[in-house]
Structure 1
Amino acid sequence: MVDRVGRIVARHPERTAVVSATEALDYRELWRRVNAWQQRCLSLGLPAGALVTILSGSGTGLPPAFLGARAAGLVPLLLDEALPQSQLAAVRPAALLRADEDEVRPTEDANPRTLPPEAGYLAFSSGTQGMPKGIVGQAAGLLAFVDWEIARLDVRPGTRVAMLTSPAFDVVYRDLLLPLCAGGELHVADRTVRFAPPAVLPWLADHGIEVLHAVPSLSARWLDAAGPTLDVLAHTLFAGEPLYGRHVRRWRQAAPRTRVVNLYGPTETTLARFHYEVPADCGTGLQPVGRPLPGGEVELVSLGPPSEYGDTRVVVISTPHGSLGYLSETCSPDDLRRLRRERGITRFQTQDRGLLDPVGNLVVAGRVDSLVKRRGAFVDIGRIEAAATELPEVRAACCLQLASDSAIVLAVAGPDPAAAAELRRKLRAPLGADLPDRVVALPSLPLLPGGKVDRRSVRELLNLEDVV
């Protein structure tokens, strides 16, 4: 990755590389700062593969700090200064780099962690599937994805790519490396933009963004806030959550010229492993995640005897570009069983249920734990969420089973609270026996810092509503 950026510098030193709210760097200045960071890191005398943390905000500091650390042979964990760093206890970094202050200092850890030569970064899972797990990412896997995306999207020198993702989440590497490995422009959104939905569409328009990575739930909030039409947005790549055609249609009203791609792939398999370009005439329902990226394979493995919902099959992904494994202190023995790296291939058994559509596209039909029992019968709460999103008055939906009485409660954002009971009546026909016990309308659904629906917080709100 460092060599790739260096070749861009040699060809286009005067082109704009990074733009923030306070300054713009051309590739010559970016490279000067990369070299300065490399020297700072080398001065620490750390062994190759030593783990370091990079703390950054929303300026131009992150790209040169990351590339400089990699040039020095170190393995970074990116942290967002606006978010808690609760995972640090299990990390044991050798040094802390403050990207926006040009500061580096060794830690006082008596046993700092060193990772294998193939490691390129450390990331933590989002926490939507239990406690966040530390995942050792493969450097070659990052570059393989970036190369695929450059070719797929025809990213060229000058292409403007948005960075709206928090540095604390591994998907930030899609934003960070895509433009810099192709001579494009990385436009870094200030935190006042990232944390304010009404500010996002105007920022995208003002910066002439051409490529955007987004989470469906978060981008729905941007649309709710309204804003200018994004006439130059050429590519929108959604990931992280189920993507419904209804949201795609809303998004295309705001960005009429954009191509929409649905990406899928857990952190364990490096950024994304499946892609599907959503056609112009897509339906309103759940969209496929498509075909594997080059080198990847998918298996649909039966979890047991068929239930009333048929043969439940879990998605298993194999790829040479996947992660190297978990930090053992951050995961369970079952986690270690489901993620294996052998003979250069990562094999990961996800917690997602999948099927193939008639033309061979993978469809993620829900999570394994979205099949719950109510009064002795299975109910698919993922199916309830999908049906709710078909209703025009529903902006977002999250369905959960409450432990207190096993009731299945659907939380929706959009309709007036007084209309919640009417929504349940509308869902009776499409859901039949899967009808939720209650529907609760909330002003909005809480989101995790990465943009996904925060199901744990929704559960807390529903339990509180149940008590009230």
Structure 2
Amino acid sequence: MTHVGDCPVVERVGWIALRYPDRVAVVGSDKVLRYGELWDRVNAWRKRCLSLGLPPGSLVAVQSGDGCGLPAAFLGARAAGLVPLLLDSGLPRGRTAAVQAAARPAAVLVADTEAIELTGEPDPPVLPPEAGYVVFSSGTQGVPKGIVGQAAGLLAFVDWEIGELDVHPGTRVAMLTSPAFDVVYRDLLLALCSGGELHVADRHVRFAPSAVLAWLAEREIEVLHAVPSLSARWLEAAGQVVNSVRHTLFAGEPLYGRHVRRWRQAVPDTRVVNLYGPAETTLARFYHHVPDDCGDGLQPVGRPLPGGAVDLVPVGPAGTHGDVRRVEIATPDGSLGYLPGTCSPDDLARLRREDGVTRFQTQDRGLLTADGDLVVAGRLDSNVKRRGIFVDIMRVEAVAAELPEVRAACCVQLESSSEIVLAVLGPDQVTAAGLRHRLRVLLGAEVPDRVVAVASLPLLPGGKADRRGVRELLNLEDAA
């Protein structure tokens, strides 16, 4: 077998391919690759990448859409000592072009056609040997930032998940995540680093919420990573029950017990895990097994993964809603920092890598339960000012999510009028307008100016609610 360098993920997959060459590795809509075939493709990509003559650590873009090409292209680039940035060809060109322009990769690998070409970038980034990938933040809270992920951190998380979920050769793992979102590595590497089967959903499934549950059942998926608001869309396809899923791992947004109960009605045999961790800390740093009797409310994110720690640091005096404390995370498996030129001085001050430990000051507010579990109760930057009074828009969302009629909620402040508008998925317009009276009792002065029913909530590539998209949607409705 060809030598593949020092990337721990590549070495793991290579060992599995040597031991199980005839096992199924990747399943697409029209193609199946066994581990031996996958490894041949990895080596072919490695040779093409080496032929470019780029220095080790060079940043390259890997563009992918449908098909089974992404795993081999990613692993081949890593085997050649390059650092991949995954791009999703199914997303709007403007976003993809903006990310590529900010990243300045030395080359572009097109996973689905196996094309590769230099970009001509005069000074592309060359990253340290520990770097394993670059991902851009979702942009939920502003301009996306380039995050330099650690190769060893990927494998550390995947090995924890393999042990925690009892994943073994042949386990079927779904890949429903956009390649542009870092959660894709949970899908991609959990399967391939355990000898499992990676089932890749094409865009006709990924971009059609009503098709997802049927696809999960057809493929007999056993492990699924999901975002709460996106999975709420999947549940709109009534009548479909999926009995194969053993583990559902939610992340990326607050998880409420009411959604867990709805999910278990459609996926009755699943265990549910709530994960938490910004992209700066590598995939996830906290986990909580959600019990059957979890109640309706906000679920904890639980305990740190091995080697990690959390501090809750006061950032101001206690206010209306209690003591405000910033969640600060320390982990040896976190990122190496931000890609130069993609972040502010304040961002740099909040993310440090020293003595083998990444320390990240999040923008999240947290508290510990009596049992020692972390609860993420909102964001420090979610307070907006309206008529001289601060309103926590994430608290508005949290309270609205407790109402039985509401399946998902996103609260925004409109720039044109400073109105605070709550967009809700589930009720009709008349019912939505009536919710405001109930919210006034629960929220007092923080009640939104309006509650608007929407047919669907705009989402970011990773499945989180897109606040900018919600503002644009509400502005269009107001203009109509």
User: TM-score of the superposition, structure 1-length normalised?
Assistant: 0.97
Distance 1:149 1:106 in 2: 36
Q: 1:233: which partner in 2?
A: 245
Task: Report the residue type matching 1:27 in the other structure.
Answer: Y
| CA offsets 1:279-317 (integer angstroms, 9 cap, x no match) | 000111111111111111111111122222222111111
Distance 1:457 1:154 in 2: 39
Say which of 78, 81, 96 aligns to 1:73.
81
Task: Report the residue type matching 1:81 in the other structure.
Answer: S
Q: 2:301: which partner in 1?
A: 289
Say which of 28, 38, 44 aligns to 1:30.
38
Helix, strand or coil for the counterpart of 1:225? coil
Q: 1:170: which partner in 2?
A: 182
How many Å apart are 1:142 and its aligned residue? 0.4
Say which of 330, 355, 362 aligns to 2:367.
355
| CA offsets 1:389-414 (integer angstroms, 9 cap, x no match) | 11121111111233444332211111
Kept after mapping to 2: 8 A contact 1:162/1:186 = yes
Q: 1:215: which partner in 2?
A: 227
Deviates more, 1:428-437 or 1:179-188: 428-437
Superposed counterparts of 1:21-100, under 5 Å = 21-83=29-91, 84=93, 85=96, 86-100=98-112
Query: Are residues 1:184 and 2:196 paired?
Result: yes
Deviates more, 1:422-431 or 1:182-191: 422-431
Deviates more, 1:438-447 or 1:322-331: 438-447
User: TM-score of the superposition, structure 2-length normalised?
Assistant: 0.95
Say which of 124, 132, 139 aligns to 2:144.
132
Superposed counterparts of 1:322-341, under 5 Å = 322-341=334-353
Distance 1:379 1:81 in 2: 38
Kept after mapping to 1: 8 A contact 2:46/2:79 = yes
Say which of 152, 155, 160 aligns to 2:164.
152
Task: Report the residue type matching 1:351 in the other structure.
Answer: Q
Kept after mapping to 2: 8 A contact 1:202/1:227 = no
| CA offsets 1:418-439 (integer angstroms, 9 cap, x no match) | 2222111222332233322221
- Percentage identity across paired residues of the two chains: 73
Kept after mapping to 2: 8 A contact 1:57/1:191 = yes
Say which of 402, 407, 411 aligns to 1:395.
407
Q: Which runs of 5+ in 1 are unaligned?
A: none
Helix, strand or coil for the counterpart of 1:168? coil
- CA spacing shift, 1:345–1:385, aligned 2, 3 Å: same
Say which of 24, 30, 34 aligns to 1:16.
24
Helix, strand or coil for the counterpart of 2:233? helix
Say which of 455, 459, 462 aligns to 1:450.
462
| CA offsets 1:180-231 (integer angstroms, 9 cap, x no match) | 0000000000110000011111100000000000011111000012352110
| CA offsets 1:311-335 (integer angstroms, 9 cap, x no match) | 2111111111000001131111111
Q: Which runs of 5+ in 2 are unaligned?
A: 1-8
Kept after mapping to 2: 8 A contact 1:198/1:227 = no
Distance 2:374 2:423 in 1: 27
Distance 1:403 1:106 in 2: 42
| CA offsets 1:158-186 (integer angstroms, 9 cap, x no match) | 00000001111111000000010000000
Helix, strand or coil for the counterpart of 1:45? coil
How many Å apart are 1:464 and its aligned residue? 4.2
Kept after mapping to 1: 8 A contact 2:105/2:119 = yes
Query: Are residues 1:196 and 2:208 paired?
Result: yes
| CA offsets 1:6-55 (integer angstroms, 9 cap, x no match) | 11112211110000001101111111111111111111121111111111
Distance 1:154 1:444 in 2: 36
Deviates more, 1:293-302 or 1:399-408: 399-408
Deviates more, 1:308-317 or 1:162-171: 308-317
Distance 1:90 1:386 in 2: 34
Query: Are residues 1:424 and 2:436 paired?
Result: yes
Kept after mapping to 1: 8 A contact 2:14/2:39 = yes
Distance 2:317 2:406 in 1: 35
Task: Report the residue type matching 1:72 in the other structure.
Answer: A
Q: 1:298: which partner in 2?
A: 310
- CA spacing shift, 1:133–1:227, aligned 2, 3 Å: farther
Task: Report the residue type matching 1:20 in the other structure.
Answer: G
Distance 1:130 1:267 in 2: 15
Task: Report the residue type matching 1:70 in the other structure.
Answer: R
Helix, strand or coil for the counterpart of 1:218? helix
Distance 1:169 1:71 in 2: 22
Distance 2:107 2:426 in 1: 46
Distance 2:99 2:190 in 1: 27
Helix, strand or coil for the counterpart of 2:235? helix
Deviates more, 1:86-95 or 1:424-433: 424-433
How many Å apart are 1:463 and its aligned residue? 3.7
Task: Report the residue type matching 2:122 in the other structure.
Answer: A
Task: Report the residue type matching 2:53 in the other structure.
Answer: G
Give the total of aligned pairs. 468
Q: 1:434: which partner in 2?
A: 446
How many Å apart are 1:460 and its aligned residue? 2.3
Task: Report the residue type matching 1:161 in the other structure.
Answer: V
Task: Report the residue type matching 1:318 in the other structure.
Answer: A
How many Å apart are 1:129 and its aligned residue? 1.1
Q: 1:107: which partner in 2?
A: 119
Distance 1:232 1:29 in 2: 27
Helix, strand or coil for the counterpart of 2:249? strand
Q: Cα RMSD between the aligned structures?
A: 1.4
Helix, strand or coil for the counterpart of 2:291? coil
Kept after mapping to 2: 8 A contact 1:412/1:441 = yes
Kept after mapping to 2: 8 A contact 1:216/1:243 = yes
Kept after mapping to 2: 8 A contact 1:308/1:378 = no
